[in-house]
Chain A
Amino acid sequence: MIPVILRRLRDLVIIMFVVGTALFFLIRSIPGDPAKVLLGIKATPEQLAALRADLGLDGPLWQQYLEWISRAVRGDFGVSIKYREPVTELIFGHLAPTITLAVFATVISFGLTVLLVTWSTVKPTSRLSRFVNRLVQFGLALPEFWTALVLILVFSMTLRWFPPSGYTPLFQDPATALTQLAIPVVVLVIGQTAFFTITLEESVLGELTQLYLRTARVKGLSEWRIATRHVMPNSLLPILTTVGMNFASLIGGIVVIESIFVIPGLGTLLLGAVYARDFPLIQGGVLFVAFLFVFVNLLVDLTYSLADPKVRVA
């Protein structure tokens, strides 16, 4: 168990290092002097020099790089140009909405998927199973930004059940927060559930060819018991990794959703930074998203090794 954790932590460090280095040189490769761009043509040489020092842009490139690394390791990503606040504080200030969306979307769609797939394992010929099987292909094909707008059109503008935008912290005013989160979460759940269902169905189909199921039937277990005790646990293990890898596309969806519903999360922060050409914020924010992705996958792998005896022993 401990070697597994150590190995994964080492991978995390390597990936963060590669991503950080790539980002550093990509951003530095932008032609032109960011300080001049930021201050305009009226800037005095002293102001330019001060801003360059502020942004870590003085000295040769390798020195800047070392400086940046040593600051980044201590969690200091500089000061945002747009907001004039430390990047780290900005990121943590915008983290809650994004995490709320991600957790709600993942938990609801994973739960829904397990229910639907268990049902279709036990009763493959039932109307619901066939319906879900058709529906999944549609769910996969719907673009999130469009589903969101269609749901706004129907449920906010026509039926007036939910507000079309806005965000309230969950613990501040749960009732308002939940009505505001309803449409964004549903949009994310549609895509995620479709994807999880198709992956889990495939895993279950593979599991159903196993011979031990015949033994289970012969000794008189009901189809329900076979599905919940034998098929599901074995099929769920391999798709745990898929859930982790899917985090990247979930974040992509959340960026879009945040921009449509005006939710002040990481996506809105990063998109705003693009238009302001806020390099420190982009660098810190993107690195943080990469960190989240690797961290989530680390957690998934640890759960995996806890759940799977074969991996646990190894």
Chain B
Amino acid sequence: MLSYILKRSVYGVLVLFGVAMLIFAMFKLLPDPARMTMGQRPDVATIEAIRKAQHLDEPIYMQLAYYLNDISPVSIHEDTAENREEYAYTKLLGLGSNALVIKAPYLGRSMQNRKRVTEIIWEAVPTTAILGISAMLIASVIGILFGIIAALNQFKFLDNAILSTTVLGISQPSYFSGVVLGLVFGYWLADWTGLSNTGPLFEMVGLSDELTFQPKNLILPALALGIRPIAIIVQLTRSSMLDVLSQDYIRTARAKGLSKWMVIFKHGLRNAMNPVVTTISGWFASVLAGSFFIEIIFDCKGLGFQTVMALNNFDLPVIMGAVLFVATIFVTVNIFVDLIYGVLDPRVSYAA
């Protein structure tokens, strides 16, 4: 088990290395970043200075080395006061004028406001995390519940009604349902629902400087983000439940004299959940993607919002940092999901 986690982590790091290479390659295809940083003021001396600072005057493999050195938690830097300030590292070993150090991955600074990219991401993460997790919670609870109801009423009216609704749910992208939900509940019916069309999850209220969490601004975006997962989870729970209920061990459970509900919930559901959990975790990833649109539509200042803004401004370090961060989340979630399998299904073995 431990060896399995270790192995998966090593693979994870390799995947991230690949992602980093890809990001680097893609952004090298763009026009000169130094010029973009400068915006409208073509001043040769300044551009050269920026080039030098960002190592843009060096050959491409050196640039890659600098980039990887920056994002790696263990790296080598020139041991200067400047660098100490910029990278916030802890020195492990002195190597002449250089030092082997350990640090948080350094993603550079925004070209727009010179803010650290890590800081920008950190500020945005809570919004996206709350949005994604609540969307998946809503989707799981509603999805599994209606999935079971549909399975127990197979081919009857209730089953047909639930199934046809899910088809509707699957067919619309989140940016569409987002706009519709916002329009209906946040505008037309706003007087009754008390919800607003748009609004960030964290707001300064009144005269206070503190950001406070606004639960009412969460409802619509989370719902919009959750609609497709709900539909998928309903269908999956239904078919998985039907499959499990036709298994031999369900007959054994009934032959023991267990009541119908004990059979369904104890012996059935536990087995039916395996593929559902896979899907739910798989959708976590898709929800991150969906939140890019939803955050823009509902004006939530999360990771998606910041990335889209950065894209508009060609703010390269922010975009590269955000992509790398999302990739890290994907890899981590996937390892976590593989471990959950073992808890749900004792037949899964973690032979390395």
Is chain B found bound to chain A in the same assembly?
no
List residues of A whose CB falls within 8 A of some B CB.
Answer: none
